[in-house]
Each structure stands twice: as structure tokens, then as C-alpha cells.
Chains A and B, each alone.
Chain A
Amino acid sequence: MKDVVRPPVETIYQKELEALKEVDDRPKPKNWELSPWAVVQFLLGGKLKNDIEVEPKYFGDRRLIELAVSTLVTDRALLLTGIPGTAKTWVAENLAAAISGDSSLLVQGSAGLAEEALRYSWNYAQLIAKGPSKEALVASPIMKAMEQGKMARVEELTRIPSDVQDTLITILSEKILPVPELNFSIPAQKGFNLIATANDRDKGVNELSSALQRRFNTIVMPLPSTLEEEVKIVKSRVEKIGQQLELPAQKSPVEEIRRLVTIFRELRSGRTEDGQNQLKSPSGTLSTAEAISVFQNGQALAAHFGNGQVNAEDIASGLTGVIVKEGEQDLQVWQEYLETVVKKRKDWADLYEACMGWIK
């Protein structure tokens, strides 16, 4: 697997999963590789009894991961929602890997998805040669998960057309997959459940029917809760990507990252970090992922056209572009923020000047 760009989670963390199995003495639900406790441990990281260090996969609220794992123990499916860049897919993948040892049973949702992709399709050569038979069935990832008692995943659930989504109702409530052509149905084995992700910003595109909604427990994945946490995430990502792009090494620009993340957090939450002033929020998401990309952009500018050090000038253009998305309204929000917050901050004069330059 060495040359694979990105091996599956269960391969990357194989050692950790084995170590967890070794120390795990708590009851396991049928067909689970680990106990719920150990699954939580795998996601949040920490040191095990056998001195093996488990790397944290998710930085954030323990509560949410506990809720997610508990949901999968009950017979309701799990729906992770949130704005883009909140690690929904990553968490889903890790959960499947830890619970079933297999994160590959995946259906990628899209507007053009057909029912067959969720249920089953036919091998037409077989179908014509032998007529409808079990051998001619081609199982979908979900059908495979049902047969093997594993976790299935559906990405971007709300991108799937509503009538196709509803195929999931029978699967989730009756835990069977009917095959009317062969006059039988496939029952789900214990250990089967479904982890879906959906994007908050797609709300209203293909909203779940209330019947389907009731089969899911929904967990909203939040943005990083503290400034420090977010700075940490941005910093480590920026450094990693910097290495990949082979940008010239430079001093760790923590202060500049902190300023950038502060602006993102304040505009996102509509409140200054000290909690003193309320602000308007622009229409854009302003996720951590966007902060990373703005900074990276600045880094590239600084490396190729500047003195190598990221400064206010380098991030001002990217910043304005990310914040002002829907014209007039966003521009007004951004301008107000610059005038009432940025201008007043000591040591931020360079940033104020640079940003004002981009507005005019």
C-alpha cells in the first residue's frame, strides 16, 4: 500500500486498532470489533494501558463522539451535519473503521444517484443467461453492510434526490432489503447501521422527508470552540501543506495565523473574542478550511513575490475575497467590521490599511 495516495483509515491506524482490541475488556455489541468505549477512545486519542499512544483523530467535544457512538448502538442511524470543513466525513470514516474494521462500504451521494446504488443492481449477462437469480444480483455497499453486519456510509445525503433517499426508510426501519423480483428479502445482520453526512449549506436542496428524518439521530458538528484550538488546527495544516508544496521554509507565522483566525471567528460568531461587541456576520461560511486556504494563498504570495514572510498585504486580498461573497451586503458587513473592530486594535493598523486598499 506504500504507493497509494491515501490508504483507508483502518490501514493507516492498524496498530492502534490492534492495541485497542488488546486492552478492550468491555462488552462489545454483536459484530462490533471494539466496545463503544474503545471506539470513543480511538477517535479522541490518549494513552492506553499497554502504553500505546492513540493519536487523536478528532479535536473537539467528547460529548459529540459519545453521542455518535451511543446512537450507533441503538437501532437509529446516525446523521452528521454541519457546515463544510467540520470533519464530518473524517469522523464517519473513523467510526466505521473502528466499529466494523471496514470504512469502504460507501455510497457517495449526488444529484444523479439512482435507487440501484443504494439497493442492488443486476449483472445483465447473468440475468439474460439464467433469468433472475441470486447469482445475478450485484450488491450495493449498503446491501453488503447488511449481509455482513457492518457500518455502511452515505456521503452528502441531502444531495441525493428525495425519492431515492426514501429507499433508505425500509432499510432503516425494517432492517430488511426486499428483492421483489426474487420474492425474498435480505435481512440485516446485527451490527449493521448507517452513518450519513450532510452539508448544512445544502439545506432545502433535498431536505429529508420527515419519515426518513425520524430514522436518524442528528448530530451537528461544530466549528472549533476556542481560538487556540483553531489556531492549532490551522497551523498544523498550513505547515503540512507547506511541506507538500515545497514552499521555502519560514519562521512559524503564529501571530499572523492568530489574527486571521480571530477575524474568522469573530465574523462567524457575530461577536468579538472578548465578548464585548456584537457584529454582523457575512453570508459566507468562513470555515476553518477557508482560513487555511487564505493563509496558504498568502504564503504562496509571500514566497514567490514577497520577502518570504507572510504579512498583512499577503492575506488581505484572500481575506476580502472569502468574506465578501454576495456583493453589497457582505461588503457592508466587512466594512463595518474594519471600521469598528480592526481599526481600533493596536498593532492591527497594517491589516486595516491593507484591507481598506482592497475595498476601494
Chain B
Amino acid sequence: MLKVFGIRHHGPGSAKRLVKALKEYQPDCLLVELPAGTEKALAHINNPELKPPVALLLYPKKDLESGSFLPFAEFSPEWQAMKYASKKEIPIIPMDLRMGIQVPKSSGNTSRTAIRKDPMGYLAKLAGFEDSERWWDATFEQEEDDLRVFDMIEEMTKVLREGILFDEPPLNIAREAFMRQTIRKAIKDAYHKIAVVCGAWHTPALIQWENISAKSDASRLRGLKKEAYEVSWIPWNYERLSFYSGYGAGVVSPAWYELLFRYKNSISARWLSKAGRLLRTEGQDAAPANILEAVRLSETLSALRDKPIPGLSELSDAAITVFCRGDSKLFELVNRKLIIGQKTGKVPESLTTIPLQKDFEQQIKTARLSAAYKSTEAVRKELDLRKNTQLLASKLLHRLNILEVPWGKPMKGSQFKTGSFSEKWKLKWVPDYIIRVVQAAIYGNTVEEAAFNKMKENLQTTEALGELGILMDQIIKADLPGLVSDLTRKMQEIAAVTKDIVTLIDALPKLVQVYKYGNQRNSEVHFFQEIIEEIGPRIFVGLPSTCSGIEEELAKEIYTKLIRVHHALQLYNNSALKSQWQISLKTLAGISSIHFIIQGWAWRILFDQGMVDINLMEKTIRGYLNTTKSPLDFTMWLEGFLNGSGLLLIHNPGFWTLLDNWIMSLSEIQFKTILPVLRRTFSNFQEPERKKMLSIAQNWQPGEKIKKQEEIEIDEKQAEIALQAVRKLLEI
């Protein structure tokens, strides 16, 4: 009448055994543990364009984000069973509860012992394995030809469920009741040889369908709420199938399972050859002779560990030892390719109705971009971010860019500064982009969610602080505030290990900018504070050695960056950080190996902030004049000290006198060498400043002291124009 085949989802050994069993059994109907309501989608299983890994996406119409995925790989037993059924043209009946049925949670206390929480894991521990996956692999997936294994599995779960764990959670009770009802219906529909394929755990509950009355099952299902679900096929990939990607039900090692499923013999040799080849491309010594050694080692290891044949752990150990000279980091390079693999599935266009695509089209309407979406020509658009719909459009375009759908490109010249409210875009829709949207569906069901997850992944793979700065910009503009904590944590990590203080100096002003002017919510502010207050001290500690003994070019680069850091710190205005900064400036000013331009600048800031009084300052300048080896060094110092403005000299006659005496003391040759630098320093000053200095120089006699705080001459005509403008602005 019927046979129940207990399998493990995505178990390659189960898949092979199941195919063999089905061929022997010759069923006239296949029941699989998939939610009822997926019949239509399952009818496409034989479409040659549908290539695993693919997933069934089930989602309620109104709530795209609560959709769930049921992935299949080539080695999934369900997939193989359905392939078999469609080839033999027998019906495929999904027998599980519909998606989205709410089952009330049990009120009684279920025991939370180790065996209850993870029964298979418990058995695995007893058998001396680290986790249930490996234990199951070694115990049930190896003997792929032995059909008796189905009975063994059934017996084991029966003992577990009836002897030890009789308190099944309510959801499972309801599901199994529904499965039994489906079995009864199939029998009623006059099928004679029914193959039931389900997860091993359910086997005992299904086999005894005759001992449980249909009535009691019906009562178990009474009153459960239903919700309409849509079903669609979407392409999947091995990365998503594995545990690494975060979706609950997956397998650790898809590529390894594919190998187990595809080949019968010499799995170790195949796997190690592949490892050897990949490592060779990474420059490792992995000649065929080595592969042989590795195979031998893996076999000895498995014998020592009492395993019938080498498993993934023995093979990895052997590969690390033989190919990588014991260096497991080298092996990590190829590990993902070997164990997870990079395969992506395909779904024919006719079968896609993707929530992300729907949300995308909805967003276009809301953001009033439909015209641009339909246009074949490039469209220019200037967005005013103070207007709501245009802000939405901006967010959408930024988010799509994150998803690698480059529909909108920022136009040249518009720098999209944080805090500015205008963005200029060039929009050009290319039909191929829709495929990218579909591909992005694995990241989420709405544009926002997908951009969020994609960005999260980007954050994980970025290792350079500079690139993180770019991502930070994208996060702020695409309005994904939930990622700020990830971002700052990553920045913290990288900042902690970087030896390159310059990148930190670069990052700090950007962070302060975003902190002050970004539109982040209150909940994110403290993340920025944390990172700023962490990066700050690191810069302070590292600056002296970074600025010591460096070439002029680098010194200037750091000098201009330090000015930005200084402004950023003033803007950030945290007293603890400021006082640390002052200490750091003192250090910079006081160490002789620091480049002169930076020393000079540090003195200037200290002087401006009143940390150094005028007498000490004059003394210091005199000191530098006496100790600097060449006039050029002093000129560099001066450039830093004057910091782009001559006002200091105009207002401090003492400095003026010192400099004047110095210039006069130089020989002609010395003067000529420093002239270019001096000219550069002075030409940066404002024109009125320069005029003023000229007049001082003309009227000043050596030895005479210029009058302090001389009245500034005012050009009445020029002033009147300015005054008019001010009046207008203030409306007086």
C-alpha cells in the first residue's frame, strides 16, 4: 500500500539510496514533505531550464518580508525523488501543512534537556562526534546502496520518540496529523503504491497512520488559521545553502555533498586532487605525488579514528599537513571553494514572480520615477532632498547601487556631500538590470531589506579603512541606519590593527562630519561617538612616530590632513579628547625629529589656543632660528607656523622683528634657496594681508618697533558695498 522513506534533507547518501529504492519500489504516487499549496510550482520540476540549486519562495501577498525559502540542491533527496516522479509521470503531492499556519504554542513545560533540544546531536556526542552532521554522515550517508538503512533510521527515531521524547511540540503534532490525512486521501484516491518521502524524524508518526483515527487527526487540525501564500521559484546558490549565510536550514558543505552524490569511488582522491589543484594556483607545492601522500595520510587517519572511510575532517587535516606545511591559514584560501562551492542555480524567466521585483516596481511608483524607468533614453534628474518623494527617489537609487543595479549614476561635479540637499543623477534603464534585481532576491524581499543584507555582506568582506569610508557614505545616503553599528565595529577592528596612522587621520574628519551633519537617528549617534573616541587616541599615540624622519612630500600631505583633524576635533568638541589632542600637539611641537612643517604648525595651534604665551613663543622662534641646520628647515617651520595667514605677523611685532633680522642675516645664496618656499608661503595669504605687510615693510626702519595694533585702513567704497548687502540680509 505505501512505503515511508526517512531521509535527511540535503543528505547525498540519502538521495542516492532513495533513488535506488524508488526504482525498486516503482510507486504510482509520490508524497513529499513540502507545504501543501506548492503543487503548481512543483509541476515545473521537469523544466530543463530549472537548474539547482534553486529554492521555493513562499510569501504572504501583503507581507513580503515574512517570506521563507525552501532550497534544493542536486543532492537533495526530495529533488531527486521529484525528478524521478516527473520522469515517470506519476503525481507529486506535497503533504505538509500549508505555509503560514499558526499553531498555538504549547502551554505545558516541555523538558529542556540536552536530548530534547537536539536529539541527533545528543546521539552524535554519545558516538564520539563533535556535531550531528558529521555523525549522521559517517553513520547513515556512507552506505548508500544498503536499503536496510531506511529501516534502521526508522527504528532509531521510533525508539527516540516513543521511548524518550514523547512530548512533541504542537507544530510537529499538527504537521504530522496533516501528513497522515494526506496519506489517507491518496489511498482514497486509489493509489496502490505510495512512496512517502519525509525527514527521518517523522517516519514513526507516519508509518502508524492506520493506528490513528482520521477523526482524531482532523480534530488536531481544527481551527488553525490560514493565510494565502504565493509560491515562486528563485535561483539559489551554494553560499546561501551553507550555514555561513545565516538561513537556518542548510548544510555546511554543499560542494563536498555534490561530490559525494556524483561519484561513487575514490572520493578522497578526487577531493584531494581538487584541493591540490586549487592550492597550486595559490602557489603551493601540490604535485601528484603529494596528492598520493595526502590520500594515504587521510586513510591512516580515518583508521586511527575508527572511521570506515575518510571524512571531510580527515581530508582537510591531510591537505593542511601535506600541501600547506601545516599552515591552516593557507588552506582557508581554498576552503570555501572546496567545501561550500560557488554554484548558482537558474530559474527560467517564465517562472519568476519575485517579491523583490514587485517591491522594486512599487518603489518606482512611489518615488515617481516611472517615466525614467520606461524611458529608453538617459534621463537627467536633480533631486531636492528636502522634498519627501525626491528623498525617496534618492534612497531608492542609492540602495539599487548597493545591489549592483546601477540604474542611476551620480553626475560628475555633483559630489553628493553629506549635509547638502541636492543630488544630480543620470538615469538609464537597461533591460538586463531586471536580472540583477532577481539575483538580488536572495538578499531580501524588499529593496531596503536586500540592500541592507548586501551591505552587511560588503562590510564583512572589506578590510581597508578607505573603502569603509565609501561604504559609510553609501549607508548614510541609502538610509540604512541599522548597519551603523556593524560599520563602526568593523572600523574599530581595522583601526585597531592598522599600522598606517595616515588612514586613521583620513577617517576621523569624515566620521565627525557624519556625526554632526548626517541624518542618523539618536540610537546610532553613540556608535559614532565610540569610534571617534577610539580612533582619536590611536592617532594621538601614533602621530609622533608617523611624523618623524619623513620626506617633505609626505609631511605636507600629513600637514594638510592634520589641519582637517584639528577642525574636526574642534567641531566634535569633546573636552577629554581636546585635552588629549593638546598633549599630543605639545609632543609634536617638542620632538626634534618631527618634520619642521608639522612642528611649526603644532606651535601655531598651541599659541592660538593660549597654551603658549607670547614671550615663550618669541623665545621658541629664536630657538629654532639658532638650532635649525639650514635656512630651508626654518622656512618649512615657518610655513607650518603661519598656516596660510599673515595676520600673525601683522599683529605681533615681536615675530616680525625676529623674522626681519633673520632674513637680513642670510647670505645671498642662502636667500635664493629659501625664496621659492617663502614665496609659496606668502602667496597663500589674502591680498589685504599682503598689502598691509608691504606697507609695514616700507615704513619700517630696522631697529624701530612697529606700533602694536595699528588701525586697519578701510577702503570706504569697498566697505559700502558690503554694508549694503548686510543691511539687505538683515532687512534694516
**B185 close to A (CB within 8 Å):** no
Residues of A within 8 A of B616 (CB): none
Q: Mark B661-702, 1 if CB is under 8 A from A, else 0.
A: 000000000000000000000000000000000000000000
Residues of A within 8 A of B496 (CB): 270, 277-280, 340
**Is there an interface contact between B541 and A336, defined as CB atoms closer than 8 Å?**
yes
Which chain B residue lies CB-closest to A215?
A: B293
Q: Mark A45-82, 1 if CB is under 8 A from B, else 0.
A: 00000000000000000010011011101101001010
Q: Is the interface of B mostly helix, strand, loop or mixed?
A: helix
Instruction: Pick from B304, B326, B494: contact of A40, CB below 8 A.
Output: B304
Instruction: Pick from A76, A270, A278, A335: contact of B297, CB below 8 A.
Output: A76
Question: Interface on B for A, CB 8 Å cutoff?
Answer: 285, 287, 289-290, 293, 296-297, 300-301, 303-305, 313, 317, 321-322, 325-328, 492-494, 496-497, 499, 534, 537-538, 541-542, 545
Which chain A residue lies CB-closest to B540?
A: A339
Most buried by B among A66, A67, A328, A335: A67
Residues of B within 8 A of A280 (CB): 496-497, 499
Q: A66-B301, A213-B285, A336-B541 are in contact. Are A219 and B326 (CB under 8 A)?
A: yes
Query: What would 10 more interface pairs be, CB under 8 Å, given A36-B303, A74-B297?
Result: A66-B305, A67-B321, A70-B301, A71-B321, A74-B293, A217-B297, A270-B497, A279-B497, A340-B496, A340-B534
**A30 close to B (CB within 8 Å):** no
Q: A66-B301, A74-B296, A214-B285 are in contact. Are A339 and B497 (CB under 8 A)?
A: no
Residues of A within 8 A of B287 (CB): 214
Give bound CA distance, A222 to B494, whole Å.
Answer: 25
Residues of B within 8 A of A63 (CB): 313, 317
Most buried by A among B287, B296, B326: B326
How close is A72's CB to chain B, nearest CB, in angstroms? 9
**Is there an interface contact between A66 and B538, defined as CB atoms closer than 8 Å?**
no
**A210 close to B (CB within 8 Å):** yes
Q: Restricting to A203-235, which residues have a CB under 8 Å from any CB of B?
A: 210, 213-214, 217-220
Can you sample 7 A-B contacts with CB below 8 Å? A74-B296, A217-B321, A278-B493, A278-B496, A280-B496, A329-B545, A332-B542
Give bound CA distance, A270 to B321, whole Å.
Answer: 25
Q: A71-B321, A277-B496, A328-B545 are in contact. Are A210 and B538 (CB under 8 A)?
A: no
How close is A79's CB to chain B, nearest CB, in angstroms? 8
Instruction: Pick from B300, B537, B545: contact of A74, CB below 8 A.
Output: B300
**A37 close to B (CB within 8 Å):** yes
Q: A66-B304, A76-B293 are in contact. Are A210 and B285 (CB under 8 A)?
A: yes
**Is there an interface contact between B325 and A214, defined as CB atoms closer than 8 Å?**
no
Residues of A within 8 A of B327 (CB): 218, 220
Give bound CA distance, A290 to B656, whole Å.
Answer: 59
Most buried by A among B300, B303, B317: B300
**Is there an interface contact between B326 and A81, defined as CB atoms closer than 8 Å?**
yes
**Is there an interface contact between B301 and A67, defined as CB atoms closer than 8 Å?**
yes
Instruction: Pick from A220, A270, A278: contact of B492, CB below 8 A.
Output: A278
Residues of B within 8 A of A73 (CB): 300
**Is there an interface contact between A70 and B300, defined as CB atoms closer than 8 Å?**
yes
How close is B138's CB to chain A, nearest CB, in angstroms? 16
**Is there an interface contact between A218 and B538, defined as CB atoms closer than 8 Å?**
no
Residues of B within 8 A of A335 (CB): 541
How close is A92's CB to chain B, nearest CB, in angstroms? 14
